[in-house]
Amino acid sequence: MKGGWLGSSTASPQMFFHGNLFISGGNKPDMITLEKRIGQHRRVTGDIVALMAGLLMPFGFAPFGWYALTVVALAFLFPVLISVSPARAFWRGWIFGLAMFGLGVFWIHESFGFAAVALPLAILSTGALIAFLAIYPALFGVFVAALSRKSMVRRSSPSPTISPSWKSLPAGGLLLALPAGWILQEWVRGWFLGGFPWLEIGYAHMDSPLVGLAPLLGVYGVGWAAAVSAGIVLLAFRAGMRDGKSTVTTRVAGVSVLLVLVGGIWGGSAWLDGITWVKPIGAPIRVALIQGNVPQEEKWLPSRRGSTLYRYLSLTRQAKQNDLVIWPETALPGYYHEFRGFIAGLRQEFHAHGMNILLGVPVLDKESQRYFNSVVAITDAGEAFYHKRHLVPFGEYLPMAGVLRGILDFLMIPMSDFSTGPLLQAPLDMAGQTIGVSVCYEASFGRDIIASLPQATLLINVSNDAWFGDSSGPHQNLQMARMRARESGRYLLRGTNTGISAIIDPRGRIMSRAPQFREFALTGAVIGMSGATPYVRYGNRIVVSATLIVLVIGMLISRVVGNRVQVVYEGNDRV
């Protein structure tokens, strides 16, 4: 054979090297074969990187708290989504999501056990949820692939030089469009079908310098800064690579500028953390959080009702020197009207001590036959109620009930059917404070908490995390509650059945916490706060608008700059 592509005329065995690939054979491979081998190698490698990045992500959140890993995970994910086909990018985003949610929120399956759902069906249901949640990063992958492909001038003829795909997107895309796109998909996940905000990247940075952005932009602003940091890290790595065009000095200068930019983001956030947006008002009050530690499997048994009430009553008597005592979600194991006499006895016994009691109890409206997951405030002036507004989909209510009810009945999966409380409910006045109350799941949403602000001087969240056993779920829920305190600049009292009960200060720091799975009366002193942080005033409107604007700018930069400078052979990214 004459005129081979390396100019050789012999047919002896040859060996070829291309990056990490080793190819050998009796004849020299033609360029198409080499391209296919390299493309296959890159596809498999990219899939593995996406999977490993997804496995890294949950370790940035509670209970682990290695927040830097969230930046590392995104820095690994971004490049493997660039310059590949939309189908391949969807696949990589999906396996990233499977790994992240599969490892990070698999604890949800624990709750099915208390609903008498067989373990295989519980695992199947949890797997279906995880597969659905993974669609969000998968769609983000499609966006990145489409953006990077529009940033390139393609040529159909093979070239002996194959550029790494992640280098094909201009800096504007990496620094602007990708981080903004990631945060927008988190925001959509946080409200679509009721919302599922767990593992939003901003929560991982509750203990990092970036949390200084929380009072301004909320959890999505914190996450945006982390995602931008990931883009800068990737740019720094790219700037430091030898490309045959830049000198060592140029590369070092480029990397240095980018690292200074990261330092500026993190340092600026730390400086913002020192700004005081609110101020204390009135005198401190003594509070007690009653953690009953009632096993979930015993909670609703009629035979255990008396022992449950005695347990809470005994712990409350130990804390009678406090101004405000809080019992957790559904502390009373039945409907409110069944406990009118018991509640009257509470008021009579503790009235002399000046004690106010807030407790969770389901409320049945006998006229409409609707029932609510509620909290009742027991004070000298009488009783006041808060009815939960944001219900847990598939837990407290069934979305698309007309379609799904028959399926769940067939599978024999029990389903609660609570009613949604009124959207506008006044804060509760007790113990000299105006209190914004949330129940369980509601503390996962900043928009729900700020509904009672800035009128509320104190925040209370009651929950029952016994559903999730000894898993990472209660730790993640506490981390999210801490973010609500930081965003609002208010003390937040989190009272739970089995833990983790905690007193959280306006900076999101845990002042004290009860040991998990123990009967405990957690006491401390808090003070009401007045004023409004920028996040309380504007909610998510600023960060959503800003990310949309930056996303468009990044897309335009990638399109314009990319069309001028990028020439990449597209044969290697076929699925």
**pLDDT tens, position by position, 35-54:** 666 667 678 889 999 999 99
Give residue 4's pLDDT.
Answer: 36
In this structure, the strands spanning 520-530 and 567-569 are unpaired
Tokens of 93: 């985003």
User: Which one of 110, 200, 329, 487 is the catalytic residue?
Assistant: 329
Task: Assign 416 a pLDDT band (cuts: 50, 70, 90).
Answer: low
Task: With cut-offs at 50, 70 and 90, classify the pLDDT of residue 410.
Answer: very low
How do residues 278-313 score in pLDDT, each as one tens digit? 999 999 999 999 999 998 888 888 899 999 999 999
- Choosing from 388, 396, 442, 487, the catalytic residue is 388
Give 404's contacts (C-beta < 8 A, 6+ positions apart): 398
Write phi, then psi, for 290 (nearest 5 degrees): -95, 110
Q: Phi/psi of residue 7, each to 5°? A: 85, 10
The CA distance from 572 to 161, in Å, is 12
What DSSP element (H or E) covers 133?
A: helix 119-133
Per-residue pLDDT for 541 more than 90? Answer: yes
Catalytic residue list contains 299: no
In the residue annotation, 320 being an active-site residue is answered as: no
State the DSSP code for 397: B
Q: With contact defined as beta carbons under 8 Å apart, do 57 and 104 qualify? A: yes
Mean pLDDT confidence for 71-82: 94
Task: Spot the catalytic one: 35, 186, 440, 442.
Answer: 440
pLDDT at 242: 56
With cut-offs at 50, 70 and 90, classify the pLDDT of residue 382.
confident
Coil, strand or helix at 24 = strand
pLDDT of residue 513: 97
Domains of the chain, with CATH numbers? 14-274+543-573 (no CATH), 279-532 (3.60.110.10)
Task: State the Cα–Cα distance between residues 558 and 175, nearest whole angstrom.
Answer: 10
CA–CA distances in Å: residue 324 to residues 43, 280, 316, 341, 435 = 60, 18, 10, 21, 11
d(CA 350, CA 352): 5
| Short-list 427, 433, 434, 428, CA closest to 452 | 427
Higher pLDDT pick, 153 / 289:
289
CA distance 236 to 257: 9
**pTM for the structure as a whole:** 0.86
CA distance 293 to 465: 10
- Listed range (95-109, 143-157, 229-243) with the worst mean pLDDT: 143-157
CA angle centred on 67, ends 61 and 71, rounded to 5°: 115
User: Could you tell me which residue, 194 or 6, shows the higher pLDDT?
Assistant: 194
Residue 565 clears pLDDT 80, i.e. is over it? no
pLDDT at res. 164: 43
Find, among 59, 73, 70, 75, the residue nearest to 210 by Cα.
Answer: 70
| Alpha-carbon span 182 to 140, nearest angstrom | 7
Asked if 329 is an active-site residue, the reply is yes
